[in-house]
Amino acid sequence: MKTFAVLQLAGCAGCEVSLLNADEWMGGYRLAYMPLVISAHDVPEVDLLLVSGGVRNEEDLYNLRRAAPQAGKVVAIGTCAISGGVASLGDRDDVREVFLADRERHHVPHLLPKCRPIDAVVPVDQYLPGCPPTPELFMALLTEPPGFKTGAIVCVECRRKKLKDMRPSRFAGFQRGEVEPDICLINQGFLCIGSSTRGGCRAPCPRAGHPCVGCRGPSDSLIEKESAVWMSSIRRVISGLTDIPAAEIDHELRSPHLSLFLFQFSDYSSPGRTPRPKEKVM
């Protein structure tokens, strides 16, 4: 039986909870290490190492450098391991001022100057984006079912209808108001970026009436493109379905509620970043 381990760096444990909601891997794998549920001193040699969380402090760096070379294959799971995610909020100056002050910190690992994705430290064989990736995606990663296929973009899996004659002239705000069940959320004035986001999650957010905020990152067609390209792609979709002025669309695209995930769209193709070929991204 193959073995796998879950190394948790700086994150929220949401990826681990999602993995624990999947169980079809149990017949084919033995879970050898996962501090959330198994007591073990160290990461053993395993066939597959799933890494969640960003490299935020010296302990993360040490643990990742120790564990990755012993694994047959390394997979970065979730937004934090791939692009920094919630842990990278600590790069904000006000947060750093508190947590980097020596007088405030005793017996905790030193923060690194910046939160880093794991592929800045070790080679990564595969990426599983999402915040968190759904249980179904974890099962697909571990069991590789024949015929498993994901929609190219979230819109394909959402299946709400895009209408040409329902054109709001302003945004309705984020998750407010009544939502029509079968009509595209953009037609209803919500800022949904499912048209640029990679599928695979089965669109739980827009199907439930909440706009997609892009946690799965860029679709294959945008993954190697610069910020200007995916920004104009999102802008074009919204302009095609609404009469909202371009300046307002741009303003909303830069709003805080999108910033946690939208930044990762450019992260895939940043200069100086290890290339992330789409073939490696699930």
- Which residues contribute to the site for ligand SF4 (CB under 6 A)? 154-155, 158, 160, 162, 184-186, 192, 194-195, 197, 201, 203-206, 212-216
Nearest distance from C-beta of residue 232 to ligand SF4, angstroms: 16
The nearest distance, CB 252 to ligand SF4, in angstroms, is: 14
Residue nearest to ligand SF4 (CB): 194
The CB-of-265 to ligand SF4 minimum distance in angstroms stands at: 12
44-47: long-range pairs with CB below 8 Å, 24+: 44/3, 44/5, 44/70, 45/3, 45/70, 45/71, 46/3, 46/4, 46/5, 46/70, 46/71, 46/72, 47/2, 47/3, 47/4, 47/71, 47/72, 47/73
CB of 22 to ligand SF4, least distance (A): 15
Closest separation in Å from C-beta 109 to ligand SF4: 30
Residues whose CB falls within 8 Å of the CB of residue 75, separated by 6 or more in sequence, listed in order: 48, 49, 50, 51, 124, 125, 126, 127, 128, 141
Cβ distance to ligand SF4 smaller for residue 53 or 189: 189
Nearest approach, Cβ of 113 to ligand SF4 (angstroms)?
Answer: 29
CB-based contacts of 219: which residues, under 8 Å, 6+ apart?
152, 153, 196, 197, 198, 199
Q: Which is nearer to ligand SF4, 114 or 167 (CB)?
A: 167
Residue among 64 and 87 whose Cβ is closer to ligand SF4: 87
Minimum CB separation of residue 67 from ligand SF4 in Å reads: 27
Query: Judged by CB, which is closer to ligand SF4: 50, or 213?
Result: 213
Residue placing its CB nearer to ligand SF4 in the complex, 15 or 158: 158
65 or 161, CB closer to ligand SF4? 161
Q: Which is nearer to ligand SF4, 184 or 282 (CB)?
A: 184
